């Protein structure tokens, strides 16, 4: 199970945080601090995996943005790396050539995409098309709209 996902910039600024298990605010802040210092201090040509307490941290850098995923010890590191990658692909598909700014200014959208992709710490939908269809359908919602219209869109 995925425990948490953090997105932060090269400067250590948090861009997105998702916690899949209940954690206190103080703990969250501490973990975020630990993660940014640990990940940012990694040398080039190091592997993408870290140990932190009893968890494994899988991180990957896309341009100026670091994606950092914590998984439980028995899990597969490589597939976690692909979880990150698929999420980037999803963001890319939604924003079109995604960049850090898209995520900074539209972080709530990034959260919605994440919620369609992961649920309760497990992969929910791996198909790019499906995730996008549900996000776009929800985006089309306007106040007062009748629900049938987007249902056609979303659920085919």
Q: Using the rule CB under 8 A, is 65 a contact of other proteins?
A: yes
Pick out residues in 122-141 that bind other proteins (CB under 8 A).
122-127, 129-130, 134, 137-138, 141
Cβ at position 102, least distance to other proteins in Å? 4
d(C-alpha 121, C-alpha 111), whole Å: 14
Pick out residues in 12-51 that bind other proteins (CB under 8 A).
14-17, 19-20, 22-25, 29, 43, 45-51
CA angle 138, 144, 145 (to 5 degrees): 50
40/89 with CB nearer other proteins: 89
d(C-alpha 156, C-alpha 154), whole Å: 6
Q: Using the rule CB under 8 A, is 120 a contact of other proteins?
A: yes
Q: How far is CA 75 from CA 2, 131, 137, 150, in A?
A: 9, 24, 33, 37
């Amino acid at each position: 199970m995925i425990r948490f996902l953090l997105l932060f910039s090269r400067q250590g600024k948090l861009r997105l945080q998702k916690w899949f298990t209940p954690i206190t605010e103080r703990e969250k802040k501490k973990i975020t601090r630990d993660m940014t210092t640990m990940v940012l201090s990694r040398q080039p040509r190091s592997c993408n995996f870290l140990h932190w307490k009893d968890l494994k941290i899988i991180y990957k850098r896309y341009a100026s943005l670091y994606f950092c995923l914590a998984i439980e010890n028995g899990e597969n590191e490589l597939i976690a790396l692909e979880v990150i990658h698929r999420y980037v692909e999803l963001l890319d598909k939604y924003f079109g050539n995604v960049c850090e700014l898209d995520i900074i200014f539209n972080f709530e959208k990034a959260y919605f995409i994440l919620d369609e992709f992961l649920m309760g710490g497990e992969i929910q939908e791996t198909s790019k098309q499906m995730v996008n269809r549900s996000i776009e359908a929800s985006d089309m919602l306007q106040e007062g709209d009748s629900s049938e219209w987007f249902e056609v869109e979303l659920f085919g």
